Amino acid sequence: MATKSEALRTVLEHLNTIGGIKASAVISADGLPIMSLIPGEIDANTFAAMLASMVGAAEAAIKAIGAKNILERVVAESKDIRVIAVRAGEDAILTIMIDPNVNYGLILLEAKKASDQISIVMKQ
Amino acid sequence: MVDPLFGIAKLDGELGGFPTHKSVIFSASPAVGNEAFGYQIVANNEKDNKILIFLNRTSPPAYFKEMEEFHFPVSKNIFVLDAYSNLTGIESSGSANVIVIKNPNDKEEILRTLGAELEKGYTLVLFDSFSLVVDTFGFDYAISIIAMLREKINKSETAAALLFTDWGYGENERAGLMNLTDAEVVIRGIEKRVIFGQYFGVIKCKWLPGKSFTSTLFKVVKPGGIKIAIPKILVTGPTDAGKSSFIHSASKNAVSVDKLGGTIALDHGSVDFKGYLADLFGTPGQERFDPLLKLLGGDSIGVVLVVDCTKPEQFPRAIEMLRKTETFGLPIVIAANKADLPGALSIDDIKNRLHLNNDVPITATVAEDLSRIDPNQPTKLKKSGVDEVLSTLFRLVIEEDLFK
């Protein structure tokens, strides 16, 4: 049987084959990297810590202004890069780095599919 | 000669180095590599010891190339008994330091050559890999090799390390083999909630009877080798106590999310210190960021509580932050910062006012240069204080058992 790490890696490997996706990682809601497929020059530990705090802060913010449902995703954009963080179950967050000039809708759809798979793996 | 060491922070501490006349087996599950333990031991001892590597896993050039990737030196003190090359038909390089087994399928030749080599005054012997010996020739032969090895290292100033991959062998056969060695270290993978990684732990050590051991997470990094991994240390404390300064002083690559000198989301830094690799997470200090504290504290395994020695009125807030980050009860060290400023309380005084257990360690930290303090930038703290906080905390953290 595949280990959890292998299962997560498979999900990320599939994501990284989609046009426009540059890197992807699964991090814990507490900011620790769980599995990452990101280029070597980026420090996965720092990336995980920053992204998790972004999601945590966004969650607190949206609750504070009266959101009734849970936070679905956080997007950070600049001209050359876009980062999406999507909840994947209780403990995990899926993060994807993309080129901002590609089909964003398709990538969101794929991200949703992948995050569902990840939340199943994490529960095993 | 100098007594060998493992070169792996916690292992040397627990076993008191790698004594001569002893054999240690590293038994890894197949999903986790054990080769790095071999490289680490060789690299750590090549200066002062004459080392023999029994190599049947790969060729000597490939082995040395791997060592170079870790930036480990390959010196003339390292000798290789090559029981691999002639299996592939590629001729062994035949350098002075490589002893070639002509027919690696001939168990008599291996036993004979190894026996002769072990007479030549090596102070450290490494088998990479011993499970391949078992796979090729069976348990009986492997046991006869260990028996010979024990006899030889008993007579000379030699220590032996055996790398073993646990391919689901029969329980009795495996136990029989392990019993012949003086110490056994298991290396396994862990996938517990969000902690994914690898750990090792001593499960038996005949020269330290009755001692209990704990398991520790580790990472293999290139270059560098085996580092004890401490995934998350929380650095917390009241506003302006010096949390960001501590993190920036302790790590080379710290990143802060701050505005006007105050942290607003978090600080993060990685520390590579005395064979440990730890990630530090710093919280904001101001009350208005309290909703983030629980998130930042989650999954921490140790805490640095930074307090300002000149501001006892902030101490209740400091304790409150331990509760808010849900880290009360974890191993903790207090960094009593700004200890050299006018009006700073004494260490004992701080201890009393914090109402923490008497055995909680507390260390004074001070700025490197008071004249260069910029209120909008993290201040550089003196290395001695920061190092003392880290080493005290790491010691406390690794004493905790991973699986308790």
Residue by residue, DSSP assigns B208-233 as: STT-----EEEEEETTTEEEEEEEEE
Whole-angstrom distance, CA of residue B365 vs CA of residue B241: 11
Q: Which of B28, B215, B197, B165 is nearest to A4 (CA)?
A: B197
Instruction: Answer whether residue B2 is part of any domain.
Output: no
Report in angstroms the alpha-carbon separations of B390 from B228, B234, B338: 13, 12, 17
Q: How many domains is chain A built from?
A: 1
**pLDDT of res. B27:** 95
What does the alpha-carbon distance between residue B199 and residue B183 come to, in Å, rounded to a whole number? 17
* Structure ipTM: 0.75
User: Look-up: residue for tokens 């520390």?
Assistant: B271
Mean pLDDT score of chain B:
89
pLDDT digits (tens, 9 = 90+) for B186-210: 999 887 766 678 899 999 999 999 8
The helix/strand/coil state of B325 is: coil
* Rg (chain A; Cα; Å): 14
The residue in chain A having the minimum alpha-carbon distance to the alpha carbon of residue B256 is A50
Neighbour tally for B179: CB within 10 Å: 12
User: Same domain, yes or no, for B181 and B196?
Assistant: yes
Contacts of B195 (CB under 8 A, 6+ apart): A32, B217, B231, B299
* Residue that finishes a domain, picked among B199, B223, B247: B223
The closest alpha carbon to B368, from B348, B386, B352, belongs to: B386
Task: Kindly state whether residues B266 and B350 are assigned to the same domain.
Answer: yes
Q: Same domain for B194 and B322?
A: no
State how far the Cα of B135 lies from the Cα of B145, in Å rounded to an integer. 14
Based on the fold, state whether residues B188 and B281 are members of the same structural domain: no
Bridge partners, residue B307, by sequence? B336
What mean pLDDT do residues B60-82 have? 92
Range with lowest mean pLDDT among A13-17, A109-113, B233-237, B289-293 = B289-293
pLDDT of residue B259: 67
Instruction: Quote the domain boundaries for residue A29.
Output: 4-123
pLDDT exceeds 60 at position B89: yes
Confidence band, pLDDT 50/70/90 cuts, at residue B13:
confident
Nearest chain A alpha carbon to B271: A45
Residue B329, pLDDT > 70, answer: yes
Where does the pLDDT of residue B222 fall: very low under 50, low under 70, confident under 90, or very high at 90 and above? confident
Provide the 3-class DSSP secondary structure of residue B33: coil
> Is the pLDDT assigned to residue A59 strictly greater than 90?
no
Band of the pLDDT at B299, cuts 50, 70, 90?
confident
Q: Which of B173, B205, B223 is the last residue of a domain?
A: B223
| A118 in Cβ contact with A13 (< 8 Å) | no
Q: What is the CATH number of the domain that holds A108?
A: 3.30.450.30
Secondary-structure breakdown of chain A: helix, strand, coil percentages, each rounded to the nearest 5: 45, 25, 30
pLDDT at B94 over 70: no
CB pairs under 8 A between A and B: 74
pLDDT of residue B214: 86
**Same-domain status, B76 and B180:** yes
How far is residue B25's CA from residue B162's CA, in Å, rounded to a whole number? Answer: 5
Cβ neighbours of A31 in B, within 8 Å:
232, 266, 268, 281, 295-296
Q: B231: which chain A residues are within 8 Å (Cβ-Cβ)?
A: 32
Domain boundary among the residues B204, B223, B242 is at B223
How much is the average pLDDT of B300-320? 93
- pLDDT reading at A1 higher than 60: no
Q: Which residues in chain A have Cβ-Cβ distances shorter than 8 Å to B299? A: 28, 30, 32
- Position of tokens 């701080």? B350
Q: Which distant-in-sequence residues (6+ apart) come within 8 Å of B200 by Cβ?
A: B11, B26, B37, B185, B186, B187, B188, B215, B216, B218
Tell me the average pLDDT across B130-149: 93
- Does any CB of chain B come closer than 8 Å to the CB of residue A28? yes
Residue B342's Cβ-count burial label (10 Å; 0-12, 13-18, 19+) is exposed
Tell me the per-residue pLDDT of B348-383, one tens digit each, with 9 for 90 and over: 999 889 888 888 999 999 998 888 788 778 889 999
Percent of chain B exceeding pLDDT 90 equals 56
d(CA B248, CA B40): 29
Residue B55 has pLDDT above 90, yes or no: yes
Distance CA B20, CA B123 (A): 8
State whether B134 and B238 are in the same domain: no
Which pLDDT value is given to residue B260?
Answer: 62
B327 within some domain: yes
| Token pair recorded at residue B312 | 């006892």
Given a contact cutoff of 8 angstroms between Cβ atoms, the answer to whether B227 and B275 are in contact is yes
- The answer on B235 and B197 residing in a single domain is no
Per-residue confidence (pLDDT) for residue B215, from 0 to 100:
87
Task: Please report which confidence band the pLDDT of residue B91 belongs to, taking 50, 70 and 90 as the band edges.
Answer: confident
Are residues B255 and B276 both part of a single domain?
yes
Q: Are residues B191 and B274 in the same domain?
A: no
CB-based contact (8 Å) between B292 and chain A?
yes
Residue B129 preceded by cis peptide, ω within 30: yes
**How far apart are the C-alpha atoms of B367 and B29, rounded to whole Å?**
47
Say if residue B250 is in the same domain as residue B157: no
**A44/chain B closest Cα distance in angstroms:** 11
B159 close to B125: Cβ distance less than 8 angstroms: yes
pLDDT of residue B193: 67
Q: How confident is the model at residue B93 (pLDDT cuts 50, 70, 90)?
A: low
* pTM for the full predicted model: 0.81
pLDDT of residue B256: 78
Whether the Cβ atoms of residue B396 and residue B333 lie closer than 8 Å to each other: yes
**Together in a domain, B204 and B104:** yes
Instruction: Please enumerate, as own/partner, the contacts of B340-346 that have beta carbons within 8 Å and a separation of 24 or more.
Output: B340/B366, B340/B367, B340/B370, B341/B309, B341/B310, B342/B310, B343/B310, B344/B309, B344/B310, B345/B309, B345/B310, B345/B312
Largest CA distance in chain A: 45
Partner-chain contact A4 B191, CB within 8 Å: yes
User: How much is the pLDDT for B307?
Assistant: 95
Mean per-residue pLDDT, B389-398: 90
Would you say B300 and B327 are in contact if contact means Cβ atoms under 8 Å apart?
A: yes
The reported pLDDT for the residue numbered B9 is 84
Q: Which of A27, A80, A85 is nearest to A54 (CA)?
A: A85
What is the domain-level CATH number for residue B390? 3.40.50.300
Distance from CA of A28 to the nearest CA of B (A): 6
Provide the domain limits for residue B361: 229-399
Predicted local confidence at residue B185, as pLDDT: 95
A49 contacts in chain B (CB < 8 Å): 255, 266, 268, 279, 281
